[in-house]
């Protein structure tokens, strides 16, 4: 039977389906173009289905820039960055959630304040410091350490620690278990879902970071994958099929992660919005 309810359901899908197809189109195009030979990309026809030139395009990409090395650097940087950043932010979040100490309100206030501060205000002195004062351009240090500070992660962890039952930690204190052991062996394991969400967001952030690595690691041997790929865009004699392969290789692992861990992704992203 055709009821008002099915009518509304039909209208809903009639609006959402075309929009969804439009939204998927750039991603689909990316995958298709990565498999097309260059005469397919630059031909007169409309190509909407994948072809077989992925391996050739990858070889072209590797010829234009050492993409495998750039990928290795990106994987290394994002992994180390995520580990250190999760450690720093969860420790700080714990301190702000668990202890009443002198300067606590000030620290929280300042961290909140930086959320609305444009990155451009800090990037110039960061660059001067790392590239000139420390003479550390084109190094792992330059890629990993300066971006370590993030404000949302700390607030996210603090909120998660606040929601744990206080009695557990009071009991631990009565038992004579030290504060650091309480943190590492009791509190951290209890927030595993939050840690997972935070790690994913931080990894993604580092993986896709473009401006900072572009500034400090511009030497080809120390480029991250986004910087290496970006350096090809706009060149005249370059394989666009290769660039699309690079885009796919950068994007596909994140899409797989996103599908597999959607709940954590969405928790991490919406952490800032819902108190």
Partner 1 sequence: MRPRTLTAYGFLTPYLLIFLAFWVWPIISSFWMSFLNTRRLPWTFAPQANWGRLLVDPAFANALKNTLIILVVQVPVMITLATVLAVLLHSPLLKARGLFRFAFFAPVVVGEVAYAAVFRLMFNYEFGIINKLLALIGIAPVSWTSNPTAAMALIIIAVTWRWAGYNAILILAGLQSIPQDLYEAATLDKVSKTRQFLFITVPLLRPIILFCIVLSIIGTMQLFTEPFLITNRGGPGGATETLGMLLYRQGFLSFNFGYASAIAYTIAAIAMALSLLNMWAGKERR
- Helix (H/G/I), strand (E/B), else coil: 247: helix
* CA–centroid distance for 200 within its chain: 7
Tell me if 143 contacts partner 1 by CB under 8 A: no
Among 51, 62, 79, 114, binds partner 1 (CB under 8 A): 114
- Residue 175 CB neighbours (<10 A): 8
Three-state secondary structure call for residue 224:
coil
Of 2, 3, 5, 176, the one binding partner 1 (CB under 8 A) is 5
Looking only at residues 170 through 189 of this chain, which bind partner 1 when binding is defined by CB under 8 A?
179-180, 183
CA 83, CA 27: separation in Å to the nearest integer?
Answer: 30
| Residues touching partner 1, count (CB under 8 A) | 95
Name the DSSP class of 132: I
Whole-Å CA distances, 238 to 159, 224, 235? 48, 19, 6
Residue 2 touching partner 1 (CB under 8 A): no
Among 37, 50, 76, 146, binds partner 1 (CB under 8 A): 146
In whole angstroms, give the CA distance from residue 27 to residue 46: 16
196 binds partner 1 (CB under 8 A): no
What is the x/- site pattern for partner 1, positions 225-254, by CB under 8 A?
-xx-xx--xx-----x--xx-xxx-xx--x
Closest distance of CB 161 from partner 1, Å: 11
Residue from the set 1, 49, 102, 106 that interacts with partner 1 by CB under 8 A: 102
Binding to partner 1 (CB under 8 A) within 208-227 occurs at: 208, 210-211, 215, 226-227
Task: Give, as one character, the DSSP assignment of residue 221.
Answer: G
Do you know the residue count of the chain? 275
Which of positions 57-86 make contact with partner 1 (CB under 8 A)?
Answer: none
Binder among 30, 75, 80, 186 for partner 1 (CB under 8 A): 30
Among 55, 68, 129, 163, binds partner 1 (CB under 8 A): 129
- Tell me the C-alpha distance between 246 and 252, whole Å: 10
């Amino acid at each position: 039977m055709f009821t008002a309810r099915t009518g509304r359901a039909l209208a809903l899908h009639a609006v959402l389906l075309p929009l969804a197809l439009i939204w998927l189109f750039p991603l689909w195009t990316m995958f298709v173009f990565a498999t097309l030979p260059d005469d397919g990309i630059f031909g007169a026809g409309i190509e909407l289905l994948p072809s077989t030139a992925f391996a050739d395009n990858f070889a072209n990409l590797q010829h234009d820039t050492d993409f495998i090395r750039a990928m290795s650097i990106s994987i290394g940087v994002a992994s180390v960055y995520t580990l250190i950043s999760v450690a720093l932010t969860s420790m700080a979040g714990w301190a702000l959630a668990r202890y009443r100490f002198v300067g606590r309100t000030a620290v929280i206030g300042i961290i909140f304040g930086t959320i609305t501060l444009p990155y451009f205000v800090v990037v110039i002195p960061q660059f001067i410091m790392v590239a000139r004062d420390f003479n550390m351009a084109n190094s792992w240090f330059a890629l990993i350490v300066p971006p370590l500070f993030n404000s949302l992660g700390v607030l996210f962890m603090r909120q998660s620690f606040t929601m744990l039952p206080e009695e557990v930690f009071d009991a631990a204190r009565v038992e004579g278990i030290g504060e650091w052991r309480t943190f590492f062996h009791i509190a951290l394991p209890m927030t595993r879902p939050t840690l997972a969400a935070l790690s994913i967001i931080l990894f993604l952030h580092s993986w896709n970071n473009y401006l900072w690595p572009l500034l400090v690691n511009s030497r080809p041997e120390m480029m991250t994958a986004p910087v290496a790929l970006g350096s090809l865009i706009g060149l005249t004699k370059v394989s666009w099929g290769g660039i699309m392969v690079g885009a796919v290789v950068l994007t596909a692992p994140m899409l797989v992660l996103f599908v597999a861990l959607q709940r954590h992704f969405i928790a991490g992203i919406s952490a800032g919005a819902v108190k």
